[in-house]
Structure 1
Amino acid sequence: MATVVPAPDPADVREASLDELSRLGLPLPPGNFPLVWEPGDEIELRSVGEVEARIAVLHLILARCFGMPTEAAMGWLLGSRLVDSVTPPEWDFVTAGKGDHRSFVLHHDALFALTWVLGLTKQLDPSLPVDEDLVAKLPNIVGGETFDGWRRRLLVAPQHPADAAALLDLHYCLDWAYLESEREGLPLPGVIDSHAIGQRRWALEWAVMLRGPYHDSPPGWEEVDLST
């Protein structure tokens, strides 16, 4: 069962996020930039099983992007009993190749962030690209490894909800800073761009569930709002 914990002080977390932006040489958001949560809110992470299923589905989507046949993809989903974990846009892409191919490829960074949530990736550094050994930590779909088989070989150590929330706040600020830097032609601190940061934020927005009077129910994967 997921652990619900008090959210850390949002002002303290925001101060740490802004310090990190300064360290990276990025512009800081305006003073009225919203906090992600309020004092007194609570946080929890999605269940391990739910995060594992989302990782597996995103990995399959990427396999389709790089040439996996429809029949093979459908067979793997059915054999792994993951059909219910696929969103309607993902289903259209898997079954008929419909949708924005490029947007699905970008999910590589969202997948990377989700592996961090489960402790499979040690750090989520905004100045660094996806770990080279990430694929070895994912289901070997081409080799016939099922979802359950992959789960049996995993050694997950989920992040503490407060740490994940702090990283969410950082990526909320990074998302603004990267977009602003690209608009103004300012240098970025590493090789990844705003698309990668946005994908990592997407994953964290989905994985970290905030509870409080000003929060709606946790969004589905396609319902995550990255507009602010």
Structure 2
Amino acid sequence: MSQQYPQPGPGGPQQPGWGAPQPQYPQQPGWGGPPPPPKKTPVGMIVGLGCLGVFVLFVILGAIGAMVGGDSSSTSKGTTVGTDDDKGTEAEKKDDAPAADPEPSKTPKSEKTEEPKKADKPAKPKKQVVTFKVWGTAPDGVLGPLDITYGSDSDSRSGTWKNGKFTATLPLDDEALYYTVMAQLQGSGDINCSVTVDGHTEKAHASGDYNICHAQANAGLLGGWD
């Protein structure tokens, strides 16, 4: 069984929510109407300005790089560094290039190089000597054979007469005052004697009895012998 509700009569009070018009209330601020739309930011303008700034920045950096590159190139005096490919190309060119003929030897191989001659050693000067001589006829006497002495003022020696002659030598002493030779006969005979110093010769003669043959070369005051 359905429940029946009383219907409002005309002129009777209407209950809210039942087909009656809603009461009108004054509109409060902030209620009801939609809020005003926010102002739109010019996104395109910002993007355009950003792109322009980036472009200007690249232009400035490019100009600075060009200036720095120009300075470095002027400093290096145009020196360029080749790449690995360039180096490889140069190496191939060197390998392909024909090898240069070595410089021909100036001296033919068949000719033997002469060995440098050893410098001739200067001949040592011959040591000068003094020569003493006695020759002639001198028979032995009561005191024996011919008596001979020879030498210098600082060196006196005795000689021996044999087979009618006598010869002896001594090294030349530049400090010697004289060189001499003496031969005395023993009762008879005839003899000659000589002394030779530095190419200079002094001679003497003796004959008979006990005479003496005496030859002497004296050192000169200004050099030489007399």
Return the index of the structure with the highest Cα Rg: 2
More helix by share: 1
Comparing both chains, which one has the higher relative contact order based on Cα–Cα distances under 8 Å and sequence gaps of 6 or more?
1
TM over 0.5: no
Indicate the TM-score class for this superposition, using the shorter chain for normalisation. Answer: under 0.3
